[in-house]
Amino acid sequence: MATARGRAAAAGGWASGRRAGTMASLAEPPASRAPSRSPALSPAAGPSRCGGERRRNASHAGADLGAVQDTQLRSVDLNHVIKLLEDSDSKDLEKEQLKTLKKVVKRFENGLPLKDLAQVIEILNLCAEKMNEQEAFTEPLCELIKLCGLPFQKKKLSDEVSYSVAVSKSIAQLAYLMRVPSSQVRIQICKCVVSFYNTESPRKLLSGVNCRLMMKAQAASRLCLYLNGVDPSGQLVFRSSEILWNLLENTSKEEVVNQLSSLECVHALKEVFVDLLMHGFRHYDRQLRNDLLVLATLLAENPAAPMIESGFAKLLIVLATFTEVKIPNPLVKGLKLTYSYEDFELKKLLFNVIGVLSKDPCAVQLLSENDVIPALLYYVKPNQKPGFHDWSAAQYEELQLHAIAILASVAPLLVDKYLSCQANTLLLVFLEWCIGQDPFFGQGNSFHGTGGRGNKLAQMRYSLRVLRSVVSLYDDAVNLNLCDQGAISQLLDILKYAANKSKEKEDAILLEIQADILFLLSVLCENDLHRKELFSYEGVDILIPFIQMDPKKLHSGLGHNCLLFSALDCLWSCVIGCYIAEDYFLEKQGIFLLLDLLALKQKNLCNIILGILVEFCDNPKTTLHISTWRGEKDQTAANLLIQLWRQEELELGVKRDRYGRIVDMKRPIASSFQKQQEVIPMPASCRSFAIMEISENIRAKLYSLLCKLGFENLPGLSAKDFVTLAIIRHYIDFKVGEVWSELCAELKEEFRPVASDEEALKVISEISEDTGRMIAALQTEVLESQHHQEIQEEEKAYTKIQAIHKQKEMVNKSWENFLTRTSNYEALKKAKRLQEKSIEASRSKSKTQNGAVHSTDIKGLGTTIGSGRLVTVESTPPQLIGGPLAVTDFALRKSSVCEGALKKIKRVKTLDSVKKDSIPV
């Protein structure tokens, strides 16, 4: 049997498993209820609920239920049911057959006896045959199959052996029912087979049946009303609490709580709890007291329970705070808690009650009057070495973290009390200790201590949660109090500390800490220029790495997505509006980083990034940075914005043709959802759908940003981009047209305009349509111009290709002529004659007076190409063929034929392998 300490360990460091339902308000993972108390701990007041007794009780209950069911079954003749279903005139007896089947289902609702299983399977087969013609048999067939999934019952010990063959055949017949062409029946058969492997014991199933029957008899409220009745045996409270827990575990928790929520039940529970609290001294009494407190916590979660009216809520609040505030209170006079494990459990449960009551607006006054804030702030201090009579280090840390977590729920409700206790100062000092170098190693045992083993991250995490809860109220007094104490500078230091820790090892707690700090800075610096200047340089340096985050991490599930959003929100609140911070952000190429993020085209990021860029464009330096940016494949910012516009319109279902041109001239930018809306007259104070639609997509931001950049001379745009750009440029005109269209429709629903007003409305509508037609014509012109340009470029390309081919042909023809002259002497002579004729024809016909005539012909010339002043001759190097030039100071000596190579001689320069000489003509 498990002791109370064992039960608490099974519940993950909280109270026993039965308290897991109460702790759900603090996100405690639920734990199963542990076994009951050890008999060694309560020999006098409560007898042991040992296994033998439980078996005897279950055996008696099973026998009683079996006897009752056997009596009921005598009234159902299964042979008669089979005969009724086999009747050939069954169509006339359908109602009677269905009624009889429902009766069978009712009689066997707790399970089928082994001796009747064969007959029930035969009934199933008959129902399956009738389903082909009568669909009304589907429901009773499924109900009977469901009964087969319950544990089979036996009347005698020998039944299991006697009917083993019949049972195996019956299960085979059950599988054969899959032939029935009904998905409902097949699914029920599969569920039935799965239930064969159910790990729950029949005894537990039987207990659930008994508990449901008890709840129908109002057992919970009756037991609670008699908790403080006369009890000579001393077992009444113990037995009653055990039954109540069985009811909670086996039936609806809400139903049990509703039965216990009467004023009489709450009073009775309070009196028994106080009696055990004040007079109980044994381990058993303290454990029972804690069990009742968990029941009280469940009642406190129910708004209908009179916890405040009965005074129970005030008592619990006083019990939770009296050891910290040290204020005498008659409710706890003479009470002294020890440092035992049961009192440690009690303390945690009382803290939990405060958290539950903080959700009830009616309990706020009680929390204020009983010094809850000072009591919780008692734990906002560095951990100290425990004394001899004190909580252990692990226990104190658990209480500390629990108290700070509850403070985050209570502080926003009691802001004045929070400020009067100097809570901001205590939290900032505590956070300074969290990033200090003091030797402290967190135990990390409790739920709230997750991730805090060997460090102070758990304390930092919950302290920041408290600050976040009060700062999110946007209360000027709270925020001013924080800033006056240097909170901005300190938060930046903590953020830097957490970011460095995250580089070593990223986990969800560190990411949450960083996101909380960024949120705090956003709220504190928003709309305050001086605070933004305090943030500027150091803050921008810290923000840049967050914006440079690897996009793959956004889907890691650790919280990078939330961290990036917090960083962008911090950028918007802490940098924009302060020219010092803006210029430094631009200097750090922050706009380029934002555009890189925007180029990812993630829906959840585009809206906030576009908003930041629009705000940044108030700084005249920003547009130059946006125009300079280049993405992948040299993409420009204008091209990116236009692509986002097309993507947005595609998702909205705006009608466009395949070239991106306007289709609907009356409503050029209306989404498919917008067109489906009916005209509903609304007051002037209510925004129409055309206005509301602006904030629901990014088109307005894209239009604003392109207005800042200008619509002329945008680089890197294609003809398709210009088509879309024409729509964007007139976005505001189209939006005005939509508003007027809505106005006209509403007027016609309510009134009949006079002739002049109707004419004016008609003119306004025509202006909007004319704008649409004009843009459509412009788009067509752009596309035609692009088509004409493409044709011209195509012609130029073909002309270039033709010239290249012609040049190749000329080269080939010249080469062929050259080969002909070199291989055919007659052709060479013919070419020579043609050359001479050409030279003669080119000479001047007029003769020079009194001047000498010099012949330009070179005798013995054997070439047929034009001669120049110099002729380049390529010859074999002399060092290879010998001759008069072979032995010189600048030549290489001839190598022997045997060696077959030239050797390098000292002080002799190497000549080129091919010698080129220029000979004058």
- DSSP letter string over 349-417? HHHHHHHHHTT-GGGHHHHHHTTHHHHHHTT-S------SSS--HHHHHHHHHHHHHHHHHHGGG-HHH
- Residue 873 φ then ψ, to 5°: -115, 130
Strand partners, 916: 874
List 918's β-bridge partners, or say none.
Answer: 872
Residues 6+ apart with CB under 8 A from 639: 716, 717, 718, 721
Q: How far apart are CA 708 and CA 617, in angstroms?
A: 7
Look at residue 779 and tell me whether its pLDDT is greater than 50: yes
- pLDDT level of residue 432 (50, 70, 90 thresholds): very high
Quick one: pLDDT at residue 96?
86
Give the rounded percent of residues in the chain with a pLDDT score beyond 90. 37
Is the pLDDT at 829 greater than 50? The verdict is: yes
What pLDDT is attached to residue 494? 94
pLDDT recorded at residue 876: 62
At residue 700, the pLDDT reads: 93
What integer pLDDT is reported at residue 35 of this predicted model? 34
| Sequence-ordered alpha helix ranges (H) in 135-182 | 138-148, 159-162, 164-176
> Residue 621, class by beta-carbon neighbours within 10 Å (0-12 exposed, 13-18 middle, 19+ buried)?
middle
Task: Quote the pLDDT of residue 63.
Answer: 41
pLDDT band at 417, cuts 50/70/90?
very high
pLDDT at site 195: 82
698 neighbors 607 (Cβ within 8 angstroms): yes
| Comparison of pLDDT for 502 and 27, the residue scoring more | 502
pLDDT of residue 836: 81
Separation CA 227–CA 236 (nearest Å): 7
pLDDT digits (tens, 9 = 90+) for 363-412: 999 999 888 999 999 999 887 766 545 788 888 888 999 999 999 999 99
Q: What is the mean pLDDT of residues 482-494?
A: 93
CA–CA distance, 356 with 352 (Å, rounded to integer): 6
Count of residues making up the chain: 921
Which one is predicted more confidently, 220 or 873?
A: 220
Please check whether residue 253 is in contact with residue 21, taking contact to mean a CB–CB distance below 8 angstroms.
yes
Residue 452 pLDDT: 67
Q: Give pLDDT, residue 597.
A: 93
* CB-count burial class (<10 Å; 0-12, 13-18, 19+) for 328: exposed
Q: Model confidence at 441, in pLDDT bands (50, 70, 90)?
A: low
Which phi and psi angles does 861 have, rounded to 5°? -75, 130
Report, as an integer, the average pLDDT of 147-151: 84
Q: What percent of the chain has pLDDT over 70?
A: 80
The predicted-structure confidence for 747-757, as pLDDT tens digits, reads as follows: 777 778 788 88
Instruction: Specify the pLDDT at position 382.
Output: 82
Q: Find the distance separating the first CA and the last CA of the chain, reported in whole Å.
A: 124
Task: Give the span between the Cα atoms of 634 and 640, in whole angstroms.
Answer: 11
The phi and psi torsions of 441 (rounded to 5 degrees) equal -125, 105
Q: pLDDT band for 305, please (50, 70, 90 cuts).
A: very high
> 186 Cβ partners below 8 Å, 6+ apart?
178, 180
657: helix, strand or coil: coil
Coil, strand or helix: which one is 228? coil
Measured CA to CA, the distance from residue 553 to residue 562 in angstroms comes to 11
Reduced 3-state DSSP string for 843-874: CCCCCCCCCCCCCCCCCCCCCCCCCCCEEEEE
At residue 872, the pLDDT reads 62
pLDDT at 68: 42
**DSSP character string of 696-754:** TSSHHHHHHHHHHH-SSS-SS--HHHHHHHHHHHTHHHHHHHHHHHHHHHHHHHH----
- Element holding 920 (H helix, E strand): strand 915-920
**pLDDT tops 60 at residue 479:** yes
Radius of gyration of the chain (CA): 47
Query: Of 25-39, 197-211, 312-326, 628-642, which range is least confident?
Result: 25-39
Q: Summarize the confidence of residues 761-788 as an average pLDDT.
A: 86
Distance of alpha carbon 516 from alpha carbon 513, whole angstroms: 5
Q: 145-159, 819-833, 853-867: lowest mean pLDDT where?
A: 853-867
pTM: 0.69
Give the pLDDT score at 267.
Answer: 94
- With a CB cutoff of 8 Å and minimum separation 6, the contacts of 355 are 25, 26, 405, 406, 409, 410
Give 531's pLDDT tier (boundaries 50, 70, 90): very high
